[in-house]
Amino acid sequence: MNALLTWAVLAVVGFVACAEFGSYAFVHPVMRRLPAREQVAFERGLLNTFGRVMPVGMTLSPILIGSWAATQQGTTALLAGVAAIAAVIALATTIAVNVGINRATRLWDPDHPPQDWQATRRRWDRFQGVRSWLLLVAYLILVAAVAG
C-alpha cells in the first residue's frame, strides 16, 4: 500500500507542478506577446483545458503529500510536511486570487475585453508565479524525502 501511495503522490504532485510551472515559465511569456484579442482568447482556451484537470490535481496534491507524510518518520516525515505546507499555500493562493480572476476571464469577450484586462491578467501572472514556484519546490522536496 505504501508503494502505491508513494507512486500516486509523486505522479500527481509531479504532474501538477510540471504543468503549472511549464505554463508559467514557457506558455504565458509567449502568449503575452500576442495581440489583445488573441491573448484573451488564448487565456479562455487555457481555462477550458487546465480548468478541467488542475482543480482536482491541486486539491489532491497537499492531501496526498500529507497522507504520505503520515506514513513516514524522522527527516522524511519532516521534509514531506514542508512539501505539504508549500502545496497548501499554493492551493490557498490559487483559491484566494487566481480562481476569481479565472471566473472573470471566462466571461470576457475577446473582441471587447474590459479596460483593465491587462492589469488583471498581470496580477494573475504574479500569483501564478508564486504558486508555480511553491509547487515546484514542494515536488523537489518530496522527491528528496522519497529518496530518503
Output the pTM of the full model: 0.94
- How many whole angstroms from its chain centre is CA 91? 7
Which pLDDT belongs to residue 91? 98
List the one residue out of 90, 102, 94, 91 whose CA is nearest residue 44: 102
Residue closest to 68 by CA, chosen among 10, 140, 134: 10
Pick the CATH number of 2-147 from 1.10.3470, 1.20.120, 2.60.120, 1.10.287: 1.20.120
- The DSSP secondary-structure symbol of 118 reads H
pLDDT 10s digits, 62-118: 999 999 999 999 999 999 999 999 999 999 999 999 999 999 999 999 999 999 999
User: Where are the domains positioned within the chain?
Assistant: 2-147
Written as nine digits, the cell of 84 is: 505539504
pLDDT of residue 1: 67
Percentage above 70 pLDDT, the chain: 99
β-sheet bridge partners, residue 109:
112
**Residue 16: pLDDT above 90?**
yes
C-alpha 147/C-alpha 91 separation (Å) is 25
